[in-house]
Chains A and B, each alone.
Chain A
Amino acid sequence: MIGYILTTEQYEQIQGQYYSPSQFFNCVQDINNVWFLFLSDQDKQEILQTEWAWVLELPTGEYTPKPSPPFPI
C-alpha cells in the first residue's frame, strides 16, 4: 500500500492534530520505523483547504507493516 512518508519532525508536527472538527492525523511506522500517513480521497479534499495542505506534497512510498505483536491468547 502506498502512503505518504514523513520525517520524525513532520510526524511530531501532525500526529494527533485535527484537520477538521472530527478528523485527526494518525501516522504509523513501517517495518523500518519510517513514519507513514494514509489518507483517503475524502481526507485529501478536506486537508486541501487547511493549513495542513503541505502534507499532500510529501513523498510517497510503499508501506511494509511491522509484524503485528501477537495478541495474548
Chain B
Amino acid sequence: MPDFGIFRGFNDKLFGNKLYAGQLPTQLGTVGSIVASDVDAQAFFNRVIAAGGNLSLLEQYAVNQLVLDLKSYSIWSKMKAIYPMVGSSSAACAQNLKSSSFTGSFSSGWTFASTGIKNTSSSGFFETNCNDNNFANNSISFGCYSRTNISLTTYDFGIYNTSLGRGTWMRLLNLGGFGGGVQQAPPEIGASNSDSRGFFQMSKNGSTTVLGYRNSSQLINTTSTTTNATNTTFYLGALNNGGTAAFGFSGKEFAMAYIGDGLSATDMTNYDTAVQAFQTTLSRQV
C-alpha cells in the first residue's frame, strides 16, 4: 500500500496522537477523549465535565485504574467519598469519585495544581459535606495523602465538636507525632512520626480498636471508647467545630482524601498500594 503522507497528517489533525496497546496516555490532550473502562470512573468524569472542569487523559487513566484497584480489593463498596484531587481546578477537585453525593466546596485560600490542592497556614478548608452521622458506631475510616512535610500546631482532617467534646479527626505531624481520634472523646491517640508526607489513614472496624497507618506502616493499634456521631461534616485542611474551621489550618498540599465505612488492617494496606500506584502514575508520589 503506498504511503500517502497526506493521510498521516490528515489523521493526526483530526484525531490527535494515536494510543497503541500497552502505552500510557501522557500528553494526548484534554477531555473529549475519555478512556474509562469502568462505569463509575466514567460517571465521575461526567461530573467533572458538568461542573466545568476537565481532566487530562493521564488523569482519567489513573482514576480509572484507581477505581478498578479499589474494587478488586473490595474497598470501593465501603467508601462514601473519595476525592482524587485531579483536574487542577476547584470544579474538578470538589467532585466525589464514589458518587454524586458529598460534592465538596472550597473556602477561599486554596491553590489547585496537577499535584493537588494546597491551603495556606492561615486560611482555607475543604467542606466535604459528608456528615459523620452517615456512619455506624465502630465503622468509619478516613484518610488523606499529603505531599508536604511540615510540622505545625494544626490539625488536618476531620471533626472535633468542642460543645460535645468528641469527634473524628487526625493530625499528620504535630508535636512530633501522628495522631487523632475516631468516634471518641479525648485523650487523643498518637504515635511518633517525623514526616507529614504520605498516605495517612485511621479506622474503626467493628470494634473499639483504632488503627492508624502512614503509608504501609501501622503506627497506631489501640482502643478508644466509642461515642455517638456529632452531626458535623468532615473538613479537609482544618477540623470542623460545629460549622467553624478550628484548631488551625493545615498548610499542606493534599493529593487525595477519602471517608468511608470501617476498614480492616488488610484493607488499609491494600488501599495504600492502590493509592501509591495512583500517585505514581501521576508523577506526584512522595
Contact surface of A with B, Cβ cutoff 8 Å: 1, 3, 18-26, 28, 36-43, 46, 63, 65, 68-69, 71-73
Complex Cα gap A71–B153 (Å)? 9
CB distance from B56 to the nearest CB of A (A): 18
* Contact across chains for B106 and A23 when beta carbons are under 8 A apart: yes
Contact of B100 with A by CB under 8 A: no
Contact surface of B with A, Cβ cutoff 8 Å: 51-52, 90-91, 94, 103-112, 120-125, 153-155, 160, 162, 165, 185-188, 245-248
Complex Cα gap A36–B111 (Å)? 18
Which residues from B are CB-within-8-Å of A68?
153-154, 247-248
CB distance from A15 to the nearest CB of B (A): 10
One of B90, B154, B162 near A23 (C-beta < 8 A): B90
List the B residue with the shortest CB-CB distance to A19.
B108
Which residues from A are CB-within-8-Å of B153?
68
A26-B107, A38-B122, A71-B186 given; name 20 further pairs at CB < 8 Å.
Answer: A3-B122, A20-B90, A21-B51, A22-B51, A23-B106, A23-B107, A23-B110, A24-B107, A25-B108, A26-B109, A26-B124, A39-B108, A39-B109, A40-B110, A40-B111, A42-B110, A42-B111, A71-B247, A72-B185, A73-B188
Which residues from A are CB-within-8-Å of B188?
71, 73
Complex Cα gap A28–B108 (Å)? 11
Which residues from B are CB-within-8-Å of A38?
108-109, 120, 122-124
Q: Please indicate which of the listed interface residues A41, A46, A63, A72 has the most CB atoms of chain B within 10 Å of its own CB.
A: A72
List the A residue with the shortest CB-CB distance to B53.
A22
Complex Cα gap A21–B95 (Å)? 12
Assuming A22-B51, A22-B104, A43-B109, is B247 touching A69 (CB within 8 A)? yes
Complex Cα gap A38–B106 (Å)? 13
List the B residue with the shortest CB-CB distance to A42.
B111
Which residues from B are CB-within-8-Å of A72?
160, 162, 165, 185-186
CB distance from B85 to the nearest CB of A (A): 13
Which residues from A are CB-within-8-Å of B109?
26, 38-40, 43
List the B residue with the shortest CB-CB distance to A68.
B248
CB distance from B91 to the nearest CB of A (A): 5
Complex Cα gap A18–B110 (Å)? 14
List the B residue with the shortest CB-CB distance to A41.
B111
* Contact across chains for B108 and A37 when beta carbons are under 8 A apart: yes
